[in-house]
Amino acid sequence: MNSGSTYITGSCVIRQNRVYLNGSLLWEADSALELPEFLRAGYDRFSGQYPKFHKMDALSKLGWLAAEVLLKDTSIHSLSPEQTGMVLSNRSSSLDTDLRYYATVKDFASPALFVYTLPNIVMGEISIRHGFKGENTFFVSDVFDTALMSTYPAQLLAETPLQACICGWVEVMEQAYEAVLFLVENKQRNNAIPLTEAALSALYQQKNS
């Protein structure tokens, strides 16, 4: 159960070539862009100057981009590295990249693809980018589990050194993708809302600002 002292202090939703920050539409790319082109356009718009981005698989690029947007105006970097953790989830694990890697095996197995054949690598890429060293966990489930995501991060904030936790859903399978990240903290900031299953569900289902 949530103790009642954990808050959602930020959200980022990326789907249908649109990027939402805290419920507001931040950027809409050409709907004709396929996922790789959309991710590159998002990188150019919100970041740049991070060449390792181009080496990532689509799942890591998507999660990395969502984290970039989610955290851009926060004070999370004032915390020590061990105080920020992550709890992410998705439906397809790393299957999209697994299949791409498998396709290379009959010729020359790609080391660069192989290193992304685990879903939790996306958390590693986000951690490297932001210097996070806190606990992190990746779950695989058919749908976004609001019950789990409203309780487990709250438990981590209550019982471990974590002061902030990035949680949510990062899914990629072929051209289908969706990222919904939340910043959860045990401090009530402006526009923060209590972390509850209903709040997560409402934010996850938002379609338009």
Partner 1 sequence: MADLKAQIIEQLNLQEVAPDSIGNDQPLFTKEGLGLDSIDALELIVLLQQHYNIRIANPEEGPKIFHSVRTMAVYITENQTVKA
Binding site for partner 1 (CB under 8 A): 51, 54-55, 108, 110-112, 115
Whole-Å CA distances, 97 to 22, 62, 115, 121, 187:
30, 13, 10, 11, 37
Looking at this protein, which amino acid is placed at residue 53?
A: F
By beta-carbon proximity to partner 1, the closer residue of 8 and 56 is 56
By beta-carbon proximity to partner 1, the closer residue of 6 and 94 is 94
Give me the least distance between CB of 1 and partner 1, in Å please.
43
Give me the least distance between CB of 115 and partner 1, in Å please.
6
Which residue is it, tokens 């809409």?
28
Give me the least distance between CB of 110 and partner 1, in Å please.
7
By beta-carbon proximity to partner 1, the closer residue of 55 and 189 is 55
Give me the least distance between CB of 48 and partner 1, in Å please.
9
- Phi, psi (5° rounding) for residue 19? -120, 125
Compute the distance between CA of residue 41 and CA of residue 38 in angstroms, rounded to an integer: 5
Give me the least distance between CB of 116 and partner 1, in Å please.
10
Compute the distance between CA of residue 196 and CA of residue 173 in angstroms, rounded to an integer: 28
| Cα–Cα nearest to 82, from 135, 8, 130 | 135
By beta-carbon proximity to partner 1, the closer residue of 107 and 159 is 107
Number of Cβ atoms within 10 Å of the Cβ of 187 = 13
Q: Are 46 and 68 in contact (CB under 8 A)?
A: yes
Give me the least distance between CB of 59 and partner 1, in Å please.
16
By beta-carbon proximity to partner 1, the closer residue of 54 and 133 is 54
Looking at this protein, which amino acid is placed at residue 27?
A: W
Which residue is it, tokens 């790393």?
94
By beta-carbon proximity to partner 1, the closer residue of 44 and 174 is 44
